Homo-oligomer: A and B are copies of this chain.
Amino acid sequence: MRKIDLSYSDDLLKDHEIIALKEQVILAHNQIHNKTGLGNELLGWLDYPNTYNKEEFNKVKKIAKKIKNDSDILVVIGIGGSYLGARAVIEAINHTFYNLLPKSKRKYPQILFAGNNLSSNYMNDLIEIMEDKDISINVISKSGTTMETTIAFRILKKFMERKYGKEAYKRIYVTTDKEKGLMKTLADKKGYETFVIPDDIGGRFSVLTSVGLLSMAVSGVNIDELINGAKDALEEYSNQNVFENNSYKYAAIRNIFYRKGKDLEILVNYEPSLQFFSEWWKQLFAESEGKDGKGIMPLSLTYSTDLHSLGQYIQDGKRNLFETIINIEKVRSDIRICEDEDDDKEFEFLNGKSVDYVNKKAFEGTKMAHIKGNVPNVVITIPELNEYYLGKLIYFFQKSCALSGYLLGVNPFDQPGVEEYKRNMIRLIKSAQ
């Protein structure tokens, strides 16, 4: 299997800049592998593709099969790291309009999400969609104290008990701590089947655990291949030499740009189905690096869509940004642009071309335009968008992110800033009693 390729224009980044960071990279590599850096109690993801619990993994497959057989809809309740990774892979791999497909073509249950916002309108609309359907629920929370998850689950648990009575518990699956916490206590009391979130893996690094795998498997994602990709990546990205390790090279490059004053990074894709992969990536980097007044702000765009909205800014606005493009060599399906008797001569040049061919030219043309506009472009190329390369890419970014955080000089594994709004919210609600 092929490696993930990394390229960039040397107009805006010189090799000697990477050489200058070579020793810092080795230092950070050792902090990760010797577990001597900040936050080292949360390095469980590092060897996970080798050490993961095979029994748990098989249980995921078994339960996924059951849900496929007895449900029209799987509702996944979770937020942040308990939401984005699963959705990222489900949307990247499946049909663009997966949930819209008629049952005859979809085969597997629809996947809908809850507990990822506090909109009452969303919740009511979701319940309307769930009526008259057979439902399973997977609720995901390490502690069971996340407000969004708790509220959604309390409401949907009632829905399930109204619908299925005493049998409701057989359709509720809880992914949580292995022994403690409100969710675990509740699951034991009610007899819900449970899955384990490992202690040494933080939310944003948990996509390859049961947190992400169950709903992916229900939607038909081949989770074996996903893990295989991550496993190969573990091997490939263990080299401490930045010139022989694209994951580290990417980390070094972002730090170089940041130190030059580029404090915005745009993750760009040319496939709309990668939108949530970018959302997953944003959490990974924003929570890991955005602290102590530091950090690159991660944005994500889909091209050419967003060239028609933010393209003007990127070409010609403030010059504090760089782009990282996920380039997919081979698309799942292409479509030919046939000659059209009605069309004007102006577009004759399209005749016989394919849509993906044009998409690739949009990518090349945009890269040239943006580099000319002084926006550095880093291109990450994967051979195709399948489970194997997605697993590899996930691990690529996780490893990169840890190294990048250490280069920046932060603890890449904590998120102290997320607590402030929660404390305020709870205080405000309680004080109104």
Q: Which residues of B are found within 8 Å of A370, using beta-carbon distances? A: 421
B-binding segment of A39-47, A193-201, A220-228, A290-298: A290-298
Contact call A366/B158, Cβ cutoff below 8 A: no
Please measure, in the bound complex, the distance between the C-alpha atom of A309 and the C-alpha atom of B84, giving whole angstroms: 9
Please measure, in the bound complex, the distance between the C-alpha atom of A138 and the C-alpha atom of B194, giving whole angstroms: 49
| A424 (CB) vs chain B CBs: closest residue | B365
Please measure, in the bound complex, the distance between the C-alpha atom of A347 and the C-alpha atom of B420, giving whole angstroms: 18
Q: A121-B273, A315-B418, A335-B123 are in contact. Are A80 and B308 (CB under 8 A)?
A: yes
**Would you call A33 an interface residue if the criterion is a C-beta within 8 Å of the partner chain's C-beta atoms?**
no
CB distance from A106 to the nearest CB of B (A): 11
CB distance from A383 to the nearest CB of B (A): 15
Interface residues in A, total, Cβ within 8 A:
132
Within 8 A of B (CB), among A170-187: 182, 185-186
Within 8 A of B (CB), among A218-264: 263-264
Residue A309 contacts which of B97, B282, B304, B314 (CB distance < 8 angstroms)?
B282
Q: A294-B317, A337-B155 are in contact. Are A425 and B309 (CB under 8 A)?
A: no
Give the residue among A270, A310, A349, A372 with the most B Cβ atoms within 10 A.
A310
Contact call A118/B319, Cβ cutoff below 8 A: no
Residue A286 contacts which of B119, B282, B313 (CB distance < 8 angstroms)?
B313
Interface string of A389-433 (1 = CB under 8 A from B): 000000000000000000000000001111011111111111011
**Would you call A271 an interface residue if the criterion is a C-beta within 8 Å of the partner chain's C-beta atoms?**
yes
Contact call A317/B297, Cβ cutoff below 8 A: yes
**Would you call A95 an interface residue if the criterion is a C-beta within 8 Å of the partner chain's C-beta atoms?**
yes
Residue A425 contacts which of B290, B358, B432 (CB distance < 8 angstroms)?
B358
Contact call B120/A356, Cβ cutoff below 8 A: yes
Copy tally for this chain in the complex stands at 2
Q: A358-B429, A365-B425 are in contact. Are A304 and B420 (CB under 8 A)?
A: no
Contact call B120/A354, Cβ cutoff below 8 A: yes
Contact call B97/A311, Cβ cutoff below 8 A: no
Within 8 A of B (CB), among A117-163: 117-126, 128-129, 144-145, 147-148, 150-151, 154-155, 157-158
| A292 (CB) vs chain B CBs: closest residue | B316
Q: A120-B335, A359-B118, A420-B315 are in contact. Are A309 and B279 (CB under 8 A)?
A: yes
Contact call B95/A125, Cβ cutoff below 8 A: yes
Q: Which residues of B are found within 8 Å of A321, using beta-carbon distances? A: 297
Contact call B122/A273, Cβ cutoff below 8 A: yes
Interface string of A60-103 (1 = CB under 8 A from B): 00000000000000000001110110000000000111011100
A-B CB proximity, top 5 nearest:
A290-B313, A80-B308, A365-B424, A290-B317, A315-B417
Between A and B, 22 residue pairs with Cβ closer than 8 Å are A80-B309, A81-B308, A96-B121, A118-B304, A118-B359, A121-B331, A145-B346, A151-B350, A154-B350, A189-B342, A286-B310, A286-B313, A287-B309, A293-B316, A307-B418, A308-B418, A311-B418, A312-B416, A312-B418, A365-B428, A369-B421, A369-B424
